[in-house]
Amino acid sequence: MSTSLERLGPRREAVGGAALVAAAIALLGTSVLEFAPGEARGDGDNPADSLRYLARFGDLYSYSGLALVAAGVALVVGVVAVHALARERRRSLGFDVASIFGLLAAGCFVVGGVMRMQANGTVPHIQTLDQKWGESAYLVVQIAGTQGLLSTGIFALCSWLVAASIVLARRGVRWPAVVAVFPVIVLLVLVGDLLAPSLAARLPGEGVFFIYIAAALFGMPASCAVVGMAVLLPRSRAKTHAALPVGR
């Protein structure tokens, strides 16, 4: 992938930036498609609610999975392009690691999206064989797909977005760092819940939950789009090339 992007020459960053903007749109589309039915969506953790949702709006769930796959594919291009840009002037072990996190996020989104696409047909079919089997099948998709792969992807992408914003700020492009507050919020909530669950339980749960959801569903795609625009716009790209002396 890196070799293919390098052949694009000066257009490499433009392609990578456009890919990040596309990934942001796809991530936002995932949320919009899944929650378009409103209250009819029900509780995502309730298998009975979710089986009714799949029966009525299964196509929307499949489309949300397709959008998630598209976001993952676009992220691969965007992450590799930004990594190549960062290494042009100075290598950084920290950003090398962060780039791996970005690719991990892409992989999680692709696999999680495929699970959603397959669930639309498979889970209702299992339900016709046995209601409890159908509920168990949905719970596998919910736990492994949404709570596992999607949460891991969100954590990994937010980590990469923060690192990319820092790299761009060091190159003189500071405005993505302003929007990076959203992935920072997501990371703080996720890490805090893992490391100090007792403390998290004493916080005003609903408020923290809604802040996290808003930052993850809307703030994270916004940050991804802003990083993409920073790489895409010619003036910003010129700053990143001129800001640091050549060195390793």
Domain residue ranges of the chain, discontinuous segments joined by +: 2-242
- pLDDT, the chain, mean: 85
Model-level pTM?
0.85
pLDDT at residue 9, as a whole number = 46
Closest Cα partner for 58 from 151, 136, 141, 1?
Answer: 141
Question: Rounded to whole angstroms, how far apart are CA atoms 205 and 227?
Answer: 31
| Mean pLDDT, range 68-75, rounded to an integer | 97
**Contact 116/62 with Cβ under 8 angstroms?**
yes
**Contact 101/153 with Cβ under 8 angstroms?**
no
Question: Rounded to whole angstroms, how far apart are CA atoms 116 and 34?
Answer: 10
What string of DSSP letters covers 2-52? HHHHHTTGGGHHHHHHHHHHHHHHHHHHHHHHHHTTGGGG--TT-HHHHHH
Is residue 103's pLDDT more than 70? yes
H/E segment holding residue 39: none
Question: Rounded to whole angstroms, how far apart are CA atoms 232 and 6?
Answer: 16
**CB atoms inside a 10 Å sphere around CB 190:** 18
pLDDT at residue 181, as a whole number = 94
What string of DSSP letters covers 126-178? HHHH-HHHHHHHHHHIIIIIIIIIIHHHHHHHHHHHHHHHHHHHHTT--HHHH
Could you tell me the maximum CA-CA distance found in the chain, to the nearest angstrom? 66
Closest Cα partner for 111 from 71, 59, 163?
Answer: 71
Structure tokens that stand for 82 in this block: 């930004």
**Contact 12/84 with Cβ under 8 angstroms?**
yes
**Contact 227/168 with Cβ under 8 angstroms?**
yes
Lowest mean pLDDT among 89-93, 110-114, 176-180: 89-93
The segment with the largest mean pLDDT, out of 131-135, 196-200, 241-245, is 131-135
pLDDT at residue 93, as a whole number = 81
For tokens 């990934």, name the residue. 23
**Contact 47/127 with Cβ under 8 angstroms?**
no
Higher per-residue pLDDT: 28 or 175: 28
H/E segment holding residue 246: none
What are the helix and strand counts (H, E) for the chain?
A: 12, 0
Higher per-residue pLDDT: 244 or 117: 117
Lowest mean pLDDT among 113-117, 157-161, 235-239: 235-239
**Contact 53/38 with Cβ under 8 angstroms?**
no
pLDDT in tens, 53-69: 999 999 999 999 999 99
